[in-house]
Chain A
Amino acid sequence: MAETTAGRASDRGRSGFAFLRNNLREYGILIALVVIMAFFQFATGGILLKPVNLTNLILQNSYIVIMAVGMLLVIVSGNIDLSVGSVLGFVGALAAVMIVQLQMNFVIAAFLCLVVGAAIGAAQGYWIAYHKIPSFIVTLAGMLVFKGLTLWLLAGQSVGPFPPTFQLIASGFVPDFLGSGKPNILSLVAGIGLALLVLFLAIRTRRREQARGVQEEPFGFFAAKHAAIFLALVYVSWLMASFRGLPNVFIVMALLIAIYSFVANRTTIGRRIYAIGGNEKAAKLSGIRTERLTFLTFVNMGMLAGLAGLIFAARLNTATPKAGLGFELDVIAAVFIGGASMAGGVGTVVGAVIGAFIMGVMNNGMSILGIGIDYQQVIKGLVLLAAVVFDVYNKNKV
């Protein structure tokens, strides 16, 4: 029984569909995104995937995605951060005060904003990690505190507009130095390059795993999956190329997703964060500095909320006292839709990003269809519930 690992494993997943059924939990969320996109593409008569709308969709959801990436680590380690919406608003306000009112250089101001975001995360993480105060309570307090401080900082007024160079963070595009911009050659080249890179890495990994006899994904499934990913990447880059090319925010977002996915999956820090969420006591007795890592996940979350705050302020071109209101709920929902577990120890960065886009596509699609905000909320709530029910059901089935 013990020696038949590889042989048995590959038998089990001989057919692509059987493999998919066994790994439904992993791919279910991606399939859900595709289905939802297909539905809205059809229902909106093709508006959803129009180049201008797709670009907008990415810009609109960038700050949720960025925060979801940080929130994933927080939730995997077994905590939660309710303050991110308020921190986003506060940092945006701080940026406005420094840049618009104090006429500070925006690079320095942006840097300071990130430091302030990290410091806020540190202040909250300190109580959570070293004094064992439940994160729900600490960050609930933080949510109130920073909502109040935002109001105070802005004196209840909106502050803006920002200088045009600052706005470029959120609304600028990478200049097309390879062509004339119609269509955007850089975007196409980057998209195809990325698609090739992903394909190359996947094939290399598969080869190595096959050489070691630990590969259990059937070839048909592998080929179909990567063909779909390749085509999707090329198609999206074509769509963006035919509008204005690559948004700056998109680059930032893609980099963050890649870096954090790598950290979560492949580094010792990632391993340790998952272990803490899975069993903090066992992790601690295995020599993992649980307090410090928990603390760092909050510092990181604060910094990313700060970054999101800058992008959001730049996008609106003004800082308002209401900025960030309720964002924490969208971010947390995205992470849970993406398959993370409330108890910690489970979840992926890519899942959280897909979760954020599911929410984003639904917002966008329903707005195009002219569905009222009342129904939108109801539908989003039900989707969140359905996603988690699906997940729990799948987990119990095994």
Chain B
Amino acid sequence: MDTILEMRAITKAFPGVKALDEVSLSVRRGEIHALVGENGAGKSTLMKVLSGVYPHGQYEGEIVFEGEVKAFSGIADSERDGIIIIHQELALVPLLSIAENIFLGNECARGGVIDWDETNRRTAELLARVALRERPETKVAHLGIGKQQLVEIAKALSKKVRLLILDEPTSSLNESDSDALLELLKEFRAAGISSILISHKLNEVAKVADTITVLRDGAAVSTMDCANGVREDDVIRHMVGRPLADRYPRREPKVGETIFEVRNWSVRHPIDTHRKVVDNAGFHLRRGEVLGIAGLMGAGRTELAMSLFGRSYGTGIEGEAFIRGEKVDLSTVPRAIAAGVAYATEDRKTYGLVLDQTIRRNVPLANLEAISEHGVVDRHRESDAAEEYRRRVNIRSSSIEQVTVNLSGGNQQKVVLSKWLFAGPDILILDEPTRGIDVGAKFEIYTIIRDLAAVGKSLIVISSELPELLGITDRLYVMNRGRMVGELLTADATQEKIMSMIIRSDTRTEAIGHG
């Protein structure tokens, strides 16, 4: 196989920091090249250099693509050569159709008049190639996130892609969608299209990659050929720069009496009110316990949590909640907080942080009473609180005056956690607490969870990563299609057992449906 891309000694400096330090990367024709590293290691910066977001002249080093030295001055430039990047945040226009999105800026038109027959015909072809069974006229807003990803890839194909760059493509996909996407990459490989895959999910990387390059602190620390097999632990060791003995901190669970109980909880979809998103679910939580809720994407876990937390999701909510045996009213967020419940969201940018405000302003937001007297904020107490949590959960930042939008994902997550810890809850619901954050930060989050349980807090962890749930929880509920379909002690649980619970519940509901 020959080399399609050669990046040589790329150095990119921002005021005060060197984001990339003489990084070299070489991609062969028709391979899947994985790029891994902790947040802030320089993966995205490197790809921005490659795609021309940072134009030629703003970096040092050279890019050789298809044997020619390239000096891209913008994305349009690199796209013309067939280098297409698909970002983590999808860049589709929700209210336009699939066909319109695919050919946006590149319309099949004659003299400015769009040829819709041609557009739809070509869209149908592209959709067939990515195995997406949707009509070209369907609006993108009606598609799930996995299908939107496929539309993005179809769009890349329409531009005669030769090197496809995917930035965390599976971070918001469920398992089956992720697998489909990875299969697609393999097909592309067979067709001679190279891909660069940026991912935190090392098991996926191990599944498909031909070569893995590890970046750390702006330098390429290792390139591994997967032909001879690569161990995840090796990759992690290179990523964090030290061997990681355990991926989960050890703990001695001290589980006490039942503190929180939910019975017969049902929630309807806010728009499609006939649909029960959570159906007669119930669970209990003990003092000092870490409880996991497993399930596929769309199982109703987030909806259950948000509807419990001040009815922040859904309509027609029924059911009862008890804290220490007494019925509690959780009907508004302030009431839920007063009852000692906190919910740290899965989507920290949309629901968790006031991004253009500082750490100091974000940390006390859910408990301003604690830093104020008669409604007047004591700025010293505010700073103290923010400073204390910055230290306690190890938020890496220049100071508490740093604006949260500039923090890495893991540190943003720590700010969200700090906010809820500062509110002093007894019951803490963490929704996908480690989504999109790197191995080192994950370990820190697990440690925080362990320490909270150790001081008698009760935690509910919702996660789509089964190994994580198996690693940190004491007990698990399995949720599927809005119902609780199983409960088991983590000590007895395996990934297979959980998956089979989900699958069995599916067949059972279908049987009932047919009967």
Residue B43 lies at the interface, judged by CB distance under 8 Å to chain A: no
Nearest-neighbour CB distance to chain B for A304, whole angstroms, equals 20
Q: Is the CB of B383 within 8 A of A214?
A: yes
Residue A281 lies at the interface, judged by CB distance under 8 Å to chain B: yes
Given the complex, which residues of B lie within 8 Å of A286, measured CB to CB?
333, 365-366, 419
Nearest-neighbour CB distance to chain A for B157, whole angstroms, equals 34
Nearest-neighbour CB distance to chain A for B401, whole angstroms, equals 8
Q: Is the CB of B383 within 8 A of A285?
A: no
Q: Is the CB of A278 within 8 A of B355?
A: yes
A 347-373 contacts with B by CB, 8 A: none
Q: Which of A58-66, A128-136, A162-170, A267-275 contacts B (4 or more CB under 8 A)?
A: A267-275
Select which of B372, B379, B390, B391 is within 8 A of A268 by beta carbon: B372
Q: Which of A2-10, A82-90, A179-187, A313-321 contacts B (4 or more CB under 8 A)?
A: A2-10
B 350-405 contacts with A by CB, 8 A: 350-357, 361, 365-366, 368-369, 372, 375-377, 379-380, 383, 390-391, 394-401
- SS class of chain A's interface: helix, strand, loop or mixed? helix
Q: Is the CB of B351 within 8 A of A267?
A: no
Residue B103 lies at the interface, judged by CB distance under 8 Å to chain A: no
Given the complex, which residues of A lie within 8 Å of B350, measured CB to CB?
279, 281-282
A266-B376 contact given A271-B361, A283-B365, A285-B312, CB 8 Å threshold = yes
Q: Is the CB of B396 within 8 A of A287?
A: no
Q: Is the CB of B380 within 8 A of A287?
A: no
A 1-41 contacts with B by CB, 8 A: 1-2, 5-6, 8-9
A 130-147 contacts with B by CB, 8 A: none
User: How far is A268 from B391 in the complex, measured between Cα atoms in Å?
Assistant: 24
Residue A289 lies at the interface, judged by CB distance under 8 Å to chain B: yes
Given the complex, which residues of B lie within 8 Å of A214, measured CB to CB?
383
Residue A245 lies at the interface, judged by CB distance under 8 Å to chain B: no
Residue B319 lies at the interface, judged by CB distance under 8 Å to chain A: no
Q: Is the CB of B375 within 8 A of A269?
A: yes
Residue B337 lies at the interface, judged by CB distance under 8 Å to chain A: yes
Chain B residue with Cβ nearest A205: B379
Q: Is the CB of A267 within 8 A of B398?
A: no
User: How far is A174 from B224 in the complex, measured between Cα atoms in Å?
Assistant: 82
Q: Is the CB of B334 within 8 A of A283?
A: no
Given the complex, which residues of A lie within 8 Å of B336, measured CB to CB?
287
Q: How many contacts A-B (CB < 8 Å)?
A: 93
Q: Is the CB of B377 within 8 A of A271?
A: yes
Given the complex, which residues of A lie within 8 Å of B366, measured CB to CB?
286-287
User: How far is A321 from B299 in the complex, measured between Cα atoms in Å?
Assistant: 61
Residue B343 lies at the interface, judged by CB distance under 8 Å to chain A: yes
Given the complex, which residues of A lie within 8 Å of B333, measured CB to CB?
284-288
Chain B residue with Cβ nearest A2: B396
Residue A208 lies at the interface, judged by CB distance under 8 Å to chain B: yes
Q: Is the CB of B337 within 8 A of A287?
A: yes
Residue B458 lies at the interface, judged by CB distance under 8 Å to chain A: no
Chain B residue with Cβ nearest A395: B356
Residue B266 lies at the interface, judged by CB distance under 8 Å to chain A: no
User: How far is A9 from B399 in the complex, measured between Cα atoms in Å?
Assistant: 9
Given the complex, which residues of A lie within 8 Å of B11, measured CB to CB?
none
A271-B365 contact given A2-B394, A208-B380, A286-B419, CB 8 Å threshold = yes
Chain A residue with Cβ nearest B399: A5
In this complex, the member of B312, B356, B375 whose beta carbon has the largest number of chain A beta carbons within 10 angstroms is B356
Nearest-neighbour CB distance to chain B for A4, whole angstroms, equals 8
In this complex, the member of A2, A283, A288, A289 whose beta carbon has the largest number of chain B beta carbons within 10 angstroms is A2
Given the complex, which residues of B lie within 8 Å of A47, measured CB to CB?
none
Nearest-neighbour CB distance to chain B for A306, whole angstroms, equals 24
Residue A212 lies at the interface, judged by CB distance under 8 Å to chain B: yes
Residue B101 lies at the interface, judged by CB distance under 8 Å to chain A: no
Chain B residue with Cβ nearest A268: B368
A285-B354 contact given A5-B399, A267-B376, CB 8 Å threshold = no
Nearest-neighbour CB distance to chain A for B202, whole angstroms, equals 27
User: How far is A272 from B362 in the complex, measured between Cα atoms in Å?
Assistant: 11
User: How far is A274 from B368 in the complex, measured between Cα atoms in Å?
Assistant: 13
Residue B345 lies at the interface, judged by CB distance under 8 Å to chain A: yes
Chain A residue with Cβ nearest B347: A281
A 213-234 contacts with B by CB, 8 A: 214
B 392-446 contacts with A by CB, 8 A: 394-401, 419, 423
User: How far is A352 from B426 in the complex, measured between Cα atoms in Å?
Assistant: 43
B 135-182 contacts with A by CB, 8 A: none
Given the complex, which residues of B lie within 8 Å of A271, measured CB to CB?
361, 365, 368, 377
Q: Is the CB of A274 within 8 A of B357?
A: yes
Q: Is the CB of A278 within 8 A of B354?
A: yes
18 further A-B pairs in the complex, CB-CB below 8 A; given A2-B396, A8-B398, A268-B375: A2-B395, A9-B399, A9-B401, A212-B380, A212-B383, A268-B376, A271-B377, A275-B365, A278-B355, A279-B353, A282-B350, A282-B351, A284-B333, A285-B310, A285-B343, A285-B345, A287-B333, A287-B336
| 6 A-B interface contacts by CB (under 8 A) | A2-B397, A267-B375, A267-B377, A286-B365, A286-B419, A346-B356
List 7 tightest A-B contacts by C-beta distance, closest first.
A278-B354, A5-B399, A286-B366, A268-B368, A287-B333, A279-B354, A287-B337
